[in-house]
C-alpha cells in the first residue's frame, strides 16, 4: 500500500512539473524577419520590456528606466527562471508576449509589495540586440526544462515499479528459501556406563 502511495505522489509531481512552464502568447517578428540572430543559452540579450500582473497592472517597464534596454546573459540565473526561458529562441527585433506561472517567477512569497504572493506574470519583451558570447561553462548552459525533469521522474518511477513487480511476482522456482542447518545427530549413542 505504501508503494502505491509513493507511485501516486511521483505521478502527481510529474503533472505539477509539466504544469509549470511559460506560455508564449504572441510573437511579432521585426521588419527583417528572424535572420540569424536567435537568443540561446549563453547569449547576451538586450530587451525592452513591460511586466504585468495577470489583471493587467504594470509593475515594471523599460519606460520607467528612461527606456534603457535591460541586458542579461540567458541561462546565467540573474533573472527569474521564466524570463530566461521566455527569451530563448527570440529573434533580434522580435516582440514576444509570454505568460510566466508564479513557480517560475517570484514564487509563493512574491516580491516586496510590488508583486503579491503566487502572482502569475505576463511580460511583453522586445529583443533590441543579441550578442553571441564565447562558450560558457556547462552549468550555465543547463536550464532544466519541465520535459527533462519530467522525463527523469518518469524513468525513475518506471524503474521503481518494475523492480517492485519483479521482486513481488517472482516465479516459485526462483524464490530463495532460507537455508537452515540440519540438526547433527551423533552416530554413536551414548549409553550410560554400567559398573
Mean pLDDT value of segment 153-158 = 82
Q: Which domain holds residue 100?
A: 22-142
Contact status, residue 49 vs residue 117, Cβ threshold 8 Å: no
pLDDT tens-digit readout, 61-103: 999 989 899 999 988 888 998 898 899 888 888 999 999 998 8
- Report the alpha-carbon distance of residue 125 to residue 141 in Å, rounded: 22
For 29-108, list the strands marked E by DSSP.
44-53, 58-61, 70-73, 95-100
Q: Would you say residue 127 lies in a domain?
A: yes
How is residue 157 written as a grid cell? 518511477
Do 51 and 105 lie in one domain? The reply is: yes
What CATH number did the domain enclosing 128 receive?
A: 3.10.50.40
pTM of model > 0.75? no
Q: Would you say residue 180 lies in a domain?
A: no
- Report the alpha-carbon distance of residue 169 to residue 187 in Å, rounded: 43
Contact status, residue 152 vs residue 13, Cβ threshold 8 Å: no
Work out how many domains the chain is built from and give that number: 2
Q: Which residues contact 118 (CB under 8 A, 6 or more apart)?
A: 102, 107, 108, 110
The pLDDT of residue 123 is: 93
Q: Would you say residue 179 lies in a domain?
A: no
Do 49 and 10 lie in one domain? The reply is: no
Q: How confident is the model at residue 144 (pLDDT cuts 50, 70, 90)?
A: low
Amino acid at each position: 500500500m505504501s508503494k502505491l502511495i509513493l507511485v501516486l505522489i511521483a505521478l502527481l509531481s510529474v503533472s505539477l512539473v509539466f504544469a509549470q512552464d511559460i506560455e508564449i502568447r504572441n510573437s511579432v517578428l521585426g521588419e527583417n524577419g528572424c535572420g540569424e540572430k536567435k537568443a540561446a543559452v549563453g547569449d547576451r540579450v538586450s530587451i525592452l520590456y513591460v511586466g504585468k500582473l495577470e489583471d493587467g497592472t504594470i509593475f515594471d517597464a523599460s519606460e520607467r528606466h528612461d527606456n534603457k534596454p535591460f541586458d542579461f546573459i540567458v541561462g546565467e540565473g540573474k533573472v527569474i527562471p521564466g524570463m530566461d526561458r521566455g527569451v530563448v529562441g527570440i529573434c533580434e527585433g522580435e516582440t514576444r508576449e509570454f505568460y510566466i506561472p508564479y513557480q517560475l517567477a517570484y514564487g509563493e512569497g512574491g516580491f516586496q509589495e510590488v508583486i503579491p504572493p503566487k502572482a502569475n506574470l505576463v511580460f511583453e519583451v522586445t529583443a533590441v540586440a543579441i550578442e553571441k558570447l564565447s562558450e560558457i561553462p556547462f552549468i550555465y548552459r543547463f536550464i532544466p526544462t519541465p520535459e527533462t525533469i519530467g522525463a527523469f521522474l518518469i524513468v525513475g518511477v518506471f524503474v521503481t515499479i518494475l523492480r517492485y513487480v519483479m521482486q513481488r511476482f517472482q516465479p516459485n522456482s526462483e524464490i530463495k528459501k532460507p537455508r537452515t542447518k540440519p540438526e547433527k545427530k551423533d552416530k554413536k549413542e551414548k549409553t550410560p556406563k554400567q559398573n
